[in-house]
Amino acid sequence: PPLYRTSTPQLGMAATLLTSAQYQPLRVSPHLSDTFMWNGRPCKGNELHRAALDDCHDKAARLLGEKPHLVHSRFFYQTKFRGKEQEGSGEAIHLAASRGHVRAVELLLSHGAQLDAWVTRDNQPHYDVMCAAVFAEGNGGDETMVRYLLEKRAPLTRNLDGRTPLHL
């Protein structure tokens, strides 16, 4: 069965691996002030999410310097899948990777972002950073970004629908 990381050593916590039966979804803070469009959906997030999405490197670096915990903060959105309303969420690294912003991804990784971080759908892990980069909001991935992630040994994992980035 798949395993999910529940905490990160970079924040001084021990990493714990859980099976999908033990997985507890991340809860998204309701105090998110920035709204933006991503993947065809209106999203709510924070300043770091917006900076990663818009490739504002200096702003992202400043925010991470002031508030390093933001690197793991999650944005959220509402979506419909098979006629059912669902909440989705992700991290700044998904936004930057999907838009081909290599410098932003480098910055986020240097501050503890993880290549195996998941975008969620209906509180379940849906896809990781490589899938976000390859799918690129339905536009096809940026070759430079995909090569960068491969060089960083980003995992090629199956998404919630059973597809790998190679299927996309």
Residue 134 lies in a domain: yes
Residue with tokens 């060089």: 151
CA within 13 Å, CB half, 124: 11
> Any bridge partners for residue 1, and if so which?
none
The model's pTM: 0.79
Residue 132 lies in a domain: yes
pLDDT of residue 14: 39
pLDDT of residue 146: 95
Contact 59, 47 (CB under 8 A): yes
Residue 141 lies in a domain: yes
pLDDT of residue 168: 52
Q: How many residues does the chain have?
A: 168
Q: How far apart are CA 134 and CA 73, in angstroms?
A: 22
Sign of CA dihedral 55, 58, 61, 67: negative
pLDDT of residue 123: 85
Q: Report the phi/psi class of residue 77: left, alpha or beta, with left for phi > 0 and alpha for psi in -120 to 50.
A: beta
Residue 41 lies in a domain: yes
pLDDT of residue 167: 62
pLDDT of residue 158: 84
Could you tell me the CATH number of the domain that includes residue 49? 1.25.40.20
Sign of CA dihedral 69, 10, 101, 74: negative
Q: Which helix (H) or strand (E) holds 81?
A: strand 74-81
3-state SS, one letter per residue, for 3-58:
EEECCCHHHCCCCCEEECCCCCCCCCCCCCCEEEEECCEEEEECHHHHHHHHCCHH
Q: Which helix (H) or strand (E) holds 104?
A: helix 102-110
What residues make up the domain containing 132? 33-151
Residue 126 lies in a domain: yes
Averages of pLDDT over each 10 residues, the chain, 168 residues = 43 44 48 86 96 98 97 93 90 97 98 96 91 87 94 89 72
Residue 146 lies in a domain: yes
Residue 83 lies in a domain: yes
pLDDT of residue 92: 98
Residue 1 lies in a domain: no
What is the tally of structural domains in the chain?
A: 1
Sign of CA dihedral 138, 5, 46, 146: negative
